[in-house]
Each structure stands twice: as structure tokens, then as C-alpha cells.
């Protein structure tokens, strides 16, 4: 747990065009992606990803001062996290995957404290899109945990 209530900004978050849409994306073969109609995210995927990562970081660090991008003008932060997602989808008969590069900045010096390229996988525990969303949510929690562990305590 954090020794104090860190002020943390989560974002900006970049996502590739192939998933920056309202539909859930599924990889059906090595070179083919499916965008099934009627299986939609509840809102903006980017905003949802930021919110889930922020909520998980807040819990992990016991901080009430986690903000998501764009934060209010003049916000005073201790750290910020820039995230560049390369992959975020599920594979037929396989796993949900999240590949991302992230950088943790110390806001007082604007220096990078930590940076990492990560490849995460979670098995699909059932058939259907609900299982995909559950696995993807767990991936975002895993990413938040990795980032949280890099924040100096």
C-alpha cells in the first residue's frame, strides 16, 4: 500500500484503429479479425479502459487522487502514466490478449520513472462475448497492477 495519497493521472491512452470502435473485436484466424454486429461496448472503449485502469490503481495504491485523461486544468499530479495499446482482443478458441507499452512519469521532473512493453494473456473461461469481456477486464486489472508496482512507495 502507498504511504500517502498519491495524485496520479492515467493517460493519455492510445489505441489502434482496429479496436477504436463501439463493437467488440475478435480474431478468428491469424490474419482475420471479426467485428460481430450487436456485440457493443457499453460506452467508449478508450474511456472505459482508462476508467478500469484508474479504478484498479486507486484500489491497489489506496489512493483517492487518481484522475483519468483529460484531467482538469491545473491538476497537480505526482505521477502520470501514458499508455500505448497495440493489441486488445480475443482469439477464437484461445485467449484474450493485451499488448501495450506504458511510461510512468514523475510529474515534478517530467522524467520517466519506469517504462515497459508488456504482453498479457487471459484464457477465455467460456464461450461467448461475455467471457471475452470478463477476460479483457482481468487483463486491464493485470496491467494496472503492473503499473502500480512500478510506482515508488
pLDDT digits (tens, 9 = 90+) for 89-143: 998 878 999 999 999 999 999 899 999 999 999 999 888 888 999 999 999 999 9
**What domains appear along the chain, each with residue ranges and CATH number?**
7-150 (3.40.50.10610)
- In this prediction, residue 1 has a pLDDT band, given cuts at 50, 70 and 90, of very low
| pLDDT of 149 above 70 | yes
Exposure string (b/e) for 117-147, b if CB count within 10 Å is 16 or more?
Answer: eeebebebeeeeeebbbbbbbbbbbbbbeeb
Amino acid at each position: 500500500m502507498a504511504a500517502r495519497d498519491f495524485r496520479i493521472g492515467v493517460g493519455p491512452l492510445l489505441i489502434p484503429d482496429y479496436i477504436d470502435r463501439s463493437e467488440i473485436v475478435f480474431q478468428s484466424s491469424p490474419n482475420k479479425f471479426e467485428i460481430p454486429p450487436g456485440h457493443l461496448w457499453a460506452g467508449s472503449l478508450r474511456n472505459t479502459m482508462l476508467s478500469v485502469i484508474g479504478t484498479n490503481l486507486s484500489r491497489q495504491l489506496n489512493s483517492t487522487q487518481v484522475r483519468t485523461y483529460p484531467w482538469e486544468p491545473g491538476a497537480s499530479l505526482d505521477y502520470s502514466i501514458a499508455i500505448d495499446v497495440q493489441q486488445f482482443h480475443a482469439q477464437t478458441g484461445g485467449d484474450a490478449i493485451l499488448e501495450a507499452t506504458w511510461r510512468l512519469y514523475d510529474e515534478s521532473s517530467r522524467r520517466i520513472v519506469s517504462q515497459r512493453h508488456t504482453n498479457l494473456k487471459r484464457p477465455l473461461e467460456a464461450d461467448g462475448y461475455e467471457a471475452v469481456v470478463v477476460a479483457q477486464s482481468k487483463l486491464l486489472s493485470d496491467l494496472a497492477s503492473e503499473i502500480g508496482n512500478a510506482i515508488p512507495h
